[in-house]
A = this chain, B = another copy of it.
Amino acid sequence: MSTVLQETAPVQAAVPAFCGACIHLCKCQAEQAGLTCAVERRGPCRQGDHLYRPETRFSGAYAVQAGMAKTVRRDSQGHEQVLAFHLPGELFGLDARGQRQHTNAAVALGHTWFCHFPETKLSKLEDDNEEIRKQLGRMTRRLRQSYRVRSAEGRADQRLAAFIVDLCDRRVAVGLRGDRLPMLMSRIDIASFLDMAVETISRLLGKLQKQGLIKVGPNQLDIIDAAGLRELAAPLLGNL
């Protein structure tokens, strides 16, 4: 918990007017100061708070400003399944675009702040500016990277390593440090996302730590040997 605050508290103190997602959307948009008004801040949300659920009316896109989120679905047996984790600066909820309501749920992990982009203003911006449409497409594509790790084949330790590498790369992509990951999600969430048993996650994290690749801390994960980690995940990263 304390480590979470290490990240969110400073951000909160010197919180920028826009998070990563906002910056991406705004910078190509300086002349249209209207976007400032288009963004609604939401937070703080607590662990487990829902941004939307299945059948919630689609009202626009979301972005994590600080903290973390997950999107979740229920499979045919009613079992909950994590579809993706969302880092600061990443858009999500776009999968429901063009439909009337969401099919998945989005849940806050830890204390999290969000930005909301109302669809009405978003589509208007898109109409006016071709660059905005490209940016949205680009971020949607990045979002789908996380699905690749999930469906990848390969050994469990390779998949876990690929998962960690993916999170690091995505953090760096939005301007955050890539050698220390806040792990706001539970082992259960990770296991669900990677389709493995919780015990396997726990054991493999210990194994990677013993191998000197990472250091597992409370709600935090330090990357000790980024190259080694990437080498372990290589068979999966290369194929996709």
Give residues in A with beta carbon < 8 Å to B.
Answer: 75-76, 151, 153, 195, 238-239
In the complex, which of the residues B76, B195, B239 contacts A238, with contact meaning CB atoms closer than 8 Å? B76
**Distance, CA A35 to CA B76, complexed state (A):** 46
CB proximity of A81 to chain B, nearest CB, Å: 11
Quick one: copies of this chain in the complex? 2
Chain B residue nearest to A238 (CB atoms) is B76
The 5 closest A-B pairs by CB, nearest first: A76-B238, A153-B195, A151-B151, A76-B239, A75-B239
Chain B residue nearest to A153 (CB atoms) is B195
- Inside 8 A of A195's CB, which chain B residues have their CB? 153
CB proximity of A223 to chain B, nearest CB, Å: 25
A selection of 5 A-B contacts at a CB cut-off of 8 Å is A75-B239, A76-B238, A76-B239, A151-B151, A153-B195
- Inside 8 A of A153's CB, which chain B residues have their CB? 195
- Inside 8 A of A151's CB, which chain B residues have their CB? 151
Chain B residue nearest to A195 (CB atoms) is B153
- Inside 8 A of A239's CB, which chain B residues have their CB? 75-76
Chain B residue nearest to A151 (CB atoms) is B151
CB proximity of A77 to chain B, nearest CB, Å: 10
CB proximity of A150 to chain B, nearest CB, Å: 10
- Inside 8 A of A75's CB, which chain B residues have their CB? 239
- Inside 8 A of A238's CB, which chain B residues have their CB? 76
